[in-house]
């Protein structure tokens, strides 16, 4: 639970710092709201992430199948889903209040909730791919190393697995960040009518965040 808490605290702080800064609200402090949302996302995601292992230990489920499912198969999708969930929760003000959209010359045309929703969903998907892959591939590669008996000493598997995780993470970071462009594009047909009434442009752009 502690390790899950630390992981999601880091990713939540990263999300807070690197979101789109457009949303404004007069009736409350937006920063305070995002911090509260972030704390809720951290505790929820950490609890969900630790639940399978806690459940297994609580009811002493030690079968090889249970060990395989809980320790090998579940972590990757859980990390991916909870990471995407954290992005969606922390950056929810962006699709509630909207973000700025610009024309190709950089002129701000208006504030769009649809652009905010697109930016958050793209970022959540890239984060899910990043951490889901980072925790899935090392398990597959480590299993291959064990099957091929490339590591004779069982105690060496821990450092090998950690090295593989760091290598996959380093490789997936640029892939994740490049899945969607930093300057996202949204078509005219996808924007609100009140924005379209003030311009004849057909393509609009927004800051996606990371």
Residues 90 and 19: beta-carbon distance below 8 Å: yes
Q: How far is CA 207 from CA 16, 80, 129, 178, in A?
A: 15, 23, 20, 14
Residue 10, classed as helix, strand or coil, is helix
Report how many domains make up the chain: 1
pLDDT value at position 206? 94
Rounded CA-CA distance 132/134 in Å is: 6
Per-residue pLDDT band for 9 (boundaries 50, 70, 90) equals very high
Check whether 187 has a pLDDT greater than 70: yes
Check whether 25 has a pLDDT greater than 80: no
* Residue owning tokens 């291959």: 144
Rounded CA-CA distance 23/34 in Å is: 11
Check whether 179 has a pLDDT greater than 80: yes
Range of the domain at 6: 1-207
Mind listing the pLDDT tens digit for each residue in 39-60?
A: 999 999 999 988 888 877 777 7
- The pTM of the full predicted model, rounded to 2 decimals, is 0.84
Name the phi and psi angles at 183, rounded to 5.
-95, 95
Residues ≥6 apart with Cβ < 8 Å to 65: none
Mind listing the pLDDT tens digit for each residue in 61-114?
A: 677 777 777 777 888 899 999 999 999 999 998 988 889 999 888 889 989 999
């Amino acid at each position: 639970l502690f390790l899950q808490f630390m992981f999601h605290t880091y990713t939540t702080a990263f999300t807070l710092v690197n979101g789109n800064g457009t949303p404004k609200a007069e009736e409350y402090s937006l920063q305070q709201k995002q911090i509260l949302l972030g704390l809720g996302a951290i505790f929820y995601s950490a609890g969900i992430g630790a639940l399978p292992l806690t459940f297994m230990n609580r009811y002493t489920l030690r079968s090889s199948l249970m060990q395989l499912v809980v320790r090998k198969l579940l972590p990757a999708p859980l990390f991916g889903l909870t990471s995407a969930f954290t992005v969606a929760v922390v950056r929810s003000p962006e699709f509630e209040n909207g973000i700025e959209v610009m024309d190709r010359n950089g002129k701000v045309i208006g504030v769009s909730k649809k652009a905010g929703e697109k930016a958050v969903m793209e970022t959540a998907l890239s984060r899910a791919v990043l951490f889901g892959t980072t925790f899935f591939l090392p398990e597959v590669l480590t299993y291959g190393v064990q099957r091929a008996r490339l590591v004779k000493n069982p105690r060496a598997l821990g450092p090998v697995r950690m090295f593989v995780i760091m290598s996959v993470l380093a490789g997936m970071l640029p892939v994740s960040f490049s899945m969607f462009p930093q300057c996202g594009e949204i078509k005219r047909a996808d924007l609100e009518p009140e924005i379209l009434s003030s311009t004849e442009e057909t393509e609009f752009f927004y800051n996606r965040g990371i």
